[in-house]
A and B are shown apart, each in its own frame.
Chain A
Amino acid sequence: MTWSEMQPLLSEASGDTLYMVGWSTVIAVVGGLPLGVLLVLTDRGGLLQNLAANKVIGQVVNIARSMPFIILMVALMSFTRTITGTTIGREAAIVPLAIGAIPFFARLVETAVREVDGGLVEAVQAMGGNTWTVVRKVLVPEALPSLISSATTTVVALIGYSAMAGTVGAGGLGDIAIRYGYQRFETQLMWITVAILAVVISLIQFAGDYAARALHRRGGDSSVAPRLRLLKNRTPATEAIASDVNRAA
């Protein structure tokens, strides 16, 4: 294949990847942030302690997290059809991507929010603040550097998942690498897509780290610094392990 043949393929695939990952990240953040905060609030000793609700949310998150993405995509097909009217194409891929990423991001949010000093919550309660005030003025702003790191991790993971979206005809860089590089022995094209993915992931990681560190620099809390160090030089393959380590820690 010549460059003039490859170029339109690659630019379309890059556009598809960014489209899918962009929208599913937005949905994952919108859905995962409240879910993660709820996981903390409903836990034992939380402001809205409700162990039954906590257990239910926790179980749903765990089940969704443990399901391989390709299975999730197939399992959600009828749901996807109700929402987008189709089970193939970019829009159809966004549904399983977002649903797979919501619990992933929610767990990272939970970890980040748990690290907020309980004394700050107490201080706001002593001022007469209610639970909503605590969430809005303390938990989310204080966890923001960690939340940005978590969003970065989620974007990188979503780029990895989006490679499988090709199976529902959604296109994207991962799909090109498999269809052309692997099935048609276009090794050169495959390596180019891998290089593009590597550059995109590095840029996203760099931007995320930069934003988190810039926010963190003004605060004196040291709890985020080691996590940032862990986040450096990650690949999608190590993401899952690293997030499990973070969760266990």
Chain B
Amino acid sequence: MITTSGLTKVYRSRGREVTALDGVDLHVREGEVYGVIGQSGAGKSSLIRCVNLLERPTSGTVTVAGQDLTALAGRGPRAGRELRQARSRIGMVFQHFNLLSSRTVQDNVELPLEILGKSGKERSRKALELLDLVGLADKAGVYPAQLSGGQKQRVGIARALAGDPKVLLSDEATSALDPETTRSILQLLRDLNRQLGLTVLLITHEMDVVKTICDSAALMDRGRIVESGTVSELLATPGSELAAALFPVGGDASGDDRTVVDVTFHGDAATQPVVSQLARTYNIDISILGAAMDTVGGKQVGRMRIELPGRYEENVVPIGFLREQGLQIDVLDRAEPQAVPAKDGAK
């Protein structure tokens, strides 16, 4: 639904060059919620603004719903008619809502319809329908200043949906909200994704957002996509930073003659009681140092850090047993540097 290839954005100011995007290839499938996560300055904002060409990419292409937007952009700095039409079919919600304080809630939702040249009757019908969809039917006549942050974002979402978009871009939509409101807004986005088949590309710096609603995720760092994939693909990737951050497990070995193992559950193995099976089969005492389990995309996934008595050499057989169960096993050993310490990934 959204594809970027070789997307590069370089800002030039007073002779200095800053590379915000450095060859970003992104592929968002139709109907999925795709999260791009990264620290501030990683290039997330530039990326999402390049998708609807609010920012002109220095090079590379952006395709949304089969339409090459970069080809529509033209040479000048101003957006031509075709690009503006394409933009009206892409909804966007913002961190600071960006509602017009001079207009009522209903008039704010009607604004994109005014731009599309719809008649007054059609505008108010559509606006009221959308306000009902986001649960604010009773607030049509009030001004944004009278609303709470969560309500403002609901208006922002209703406004973004006015042009019947297939794609919704969310620029840190929940970053200005408290945790509880964040959950309700994410739930709304999830519902809209399912009910309307809306493809959602969101950027965030909160791992919780990715964990709550994303089907796929990408990690950005210094203008590049470091990792990407569906959540279970990421979990299956040994040493994935995103997986480690989504399912952080901590805890150190309690002594020198112990083996610490990270067990990653994804797919069917997650339903098996493997730890107790392991203890029974080999008659060993297992300590659980840390665990993070969750339901992601309707599947039970997670990671667990366990400690086995004895050094690694003594535990080759039990570890082999775990691998046979279809689990992904990472052995943490201070003596062996090739093992991946999961903690470093937990940003």
Contacts and interface: CB of A to CB of B under 8 A. Distances in A.
B163 A137 contact: no
B123 to A, nearest CB: 13
A186 to B, nearest CB: 49
15 contacts: A124-B111, A125-B87, A126-B90, A127-B115, A127-B163, A128-B163, A130-B78, A131-B78, A137-B111, A137-B114, A138-B100, A141-B103, A142-B101, A219-B143, A219-B145
A47 interface: yes
Interface in B76-108: 77-79, 84-88, 90, 92, 94, 96, 98, 100-103
B144 interface: yes
A223 B52 CA distance: 30
Contacts of A129: 84, 115
A115 B184 CA distance: 32
Contact of B101 (A49, A124, A219): A219
B96 A144 contact: no
Contacts of A48: 78
Interface string A62-101: 0000000000000000000000000000000000000000
B100 A133 contact: no
How big is the B interface, by class?
20 to 34
Given A49-B77, A123-B92, A129-B115, A142 B100 contact: yes
Interface residues on A, range: 20 to 34
Contact of B87 (A117, A119, A127, A219): A127
Interface in A41-55: 47-49
B290 interface: no
Interface string A153-177: 0000000000000000000000000
A133 B86 CA distance: 16
Given A119-B96, A128-B88, A129-B84, A142 B115 contact: no
Interface string B132-171: 0000000000011100000000000001001100000100
